[in-house]
Amino acid sequence: MSEHLSHSALLAWYAESKRDLPWRHTDDPWKILLSEILLQQTQVSRGIHYWQKLVERFPTPQSMADAEVDEVLHLWQGAGYYSRARRLHALSIQVCLSITEGGYDGSLPLTAPELLTLPGVGPYTAAAVASIAYGEPVACVDGNIRRVMARQSKRLDPSLKEVEAWANKVLYRDDAGDWNQALMELGATVCTPKRPLCGQCPVSSSCAGKSSPLLFPQPKKTKRKRLDLKCTLRFDANGLPELVQRGDDGILAGMWGPPMGDAIDVTGLEYVGIVEHTLSHRDIFVEVWHGSCPRGTEPSTVALSSLDRKILALGGE
């Protein structure tokens, strides 16, 4: 059963088999935090690219706090979930306040509860940074760990509380950072959602679900939402598009793009076509309307989302 999950077998496997990821070569909590925030919703292969750009430009919280949020968004473009970039910038500013102002004098706080008070840091990120950077004995819970737990314990639909209780019970407190990473690595590379490699699993002896791993956990039924928008794609005489910065709320908050919304006036414009874009739980359909404007903006000078790039590509300019 799960309580007998072998620490030594999993840690030995992790030492031998872990992927060589750049943030695994640093003990700098800021750089580890950047990797964890990026990996929340960006695949590892793409996350590497963005992480390298971020640590190069913003090697410390102070370097980000000194920059405009637009520059962070610009670096983030294409990674999606842009609110993460905005919250990260807010976090850097808060961390760089003096202690009397409620900040941390430019260094990330040293414990999971303090990390949890920062913008954009949830229980997972706080536990990951505190355990990996500081060795704090706190358990992480993410989708990979939930899947390993469900299979090890033969649970169809474990609640967050149950997964947390399991993660705390199996935590190897003497090296919580490696332990948490090992469990997540197991879920990402061996105990995968569709093709679990039970024959190569270092902890198969304690796994109650290994004869039918695909039954656990039961897939969640997520209902996809459809979002229909309109967008005006206007170009100036030099072929530069009209680009505006979006407000602070919504899926593309703070990013730049052609004017877009659900009630945009398209009178007098020419219909171009529809751009489809998929986010995790949302299908977006954007009707694109073409026209002219007095003065456009060079797209490379502002932060554009993948959706906006698709719209501009449809305009063909």
The phi-psi region of residue 19 (left if phi > 0; otherwise alpha if psi is between -120 and 50; otherwise beta) is beta
Please identify which of the residues 16, 36, 56, 185 carries the catalytic annotation. Answer: 36
Name which position in 203, 275, 302, 303 contacts ligand SF4 (CB under 6 A).
203
* Token reading at 110: 């040293």
**Interface pattern 106-145 for ligand SF4 (x via CB under 6 A):** ----------------------------------------
* Token reading at 160: 């967050």
**Smallest gap from residue 151 Cβ to ligand SF4 (A):** 4
Cis peptide bond N-terminal to 193, omega within 30: no
Distance of alpha carbon 193 from its chain centroid, rounded? 19
Using CA atoms, how far residue 106 sits from 21, 114, 290, in Å, is: 26, 14, 47
Burial class (CB in 10 A: 0-12, 13-18, 19+), 192: middle
**Smallest gap from residue 140 Cβ to ligand SF4 (A):** 17
Those residues with Cβ within 8 angstroms of residue 250's Cβ, 6 or more apart along the chain or in another chain: none
The phi-psi region of residue 152 (left if phi > 0; otherwise alpha if psi is between -120 and 50; otherwise beta) is alpha
Residue 53 per-residue DSSP state: H
Distance of alpha carbon 14 from its chain centroid, rounded? 23
Is 5 a residue that touches ligand SF4 (CB under 6 A)?
no
| DSSP bridge partners of 282 | 225, 279
**Smallest gap from residue 201 Cβ to ligand SF4 (A):** 3
Using CA atoms, how far residue 114 sits from 60, 111, 163, in Å, is: 18, 5, 23
Counting Cα atoms < 13 Å in the Cβ hemisphere of 7 gives 12
Is 284 a residue that touches ligand SF4 (CB under 6 A)?
no
Is 80 a residue that touches ligand SF4 (CB under 6 A)?
no
CB closer to ligand SF4 out of 133 and 203? 203
Is 10 a residue that touches ligand SF4 (CB under 6 A)?
no
Is 151 a residue that touches ligand SF4 (CB under 6 A)?
yes
Name which position in 144, 152, 180, 232 contacts ligand SF4 (CB under 6 A).
152
**Smallest gap from residue 223 Cβ to ligand SF4 (A):** 28
CB closer to ligand SF4 out of 187 and 241? 187
Is 188 a residue that touches ligand SF4 (CB under 6 A)?
no
**Stretch of 116-124, 170-178, 203-211, 281-289 lying at the interface with ligand SF4 (CB under 6 A):** 203-211
CB closer to ligand SF4 out of 157 and 228? 157
**Stretch of 24-32, 109-117, 198-206, 288-296 lying at the interface with ligand SF4 (CB under 6 A):** 198-206
Told to judge if 36 belongs to the known catalytic residues of this protein, a careful annotator would answer: yes
* Token reading at 186: 């197991």
Is 209 a residue that touches ligand SF4 (CB under 6 A)?
yes
Name which position in 2, 204, 232, 305 contacts ligand SF4 (CB under 6 A).
204
**Smallest gap from residue 196 Cβ to ligand SF4 (A):** 4
Length of the chain equals 317
Residue position matching structure tokens 């003096």 = 98
Contact (Cβ atoms closer than 8 angstroms) between residue 22 and residue 32: no
Is 198 a residue that touches ligand SF4 (CB under 6 A)?
yes
Hey, which residues are catalytic here? 36
Binding site for ligand SF4 (CB under 6 A): 148, 151-152, 190-191, 196-198, 201, 203-204, 207, 209-210, 213
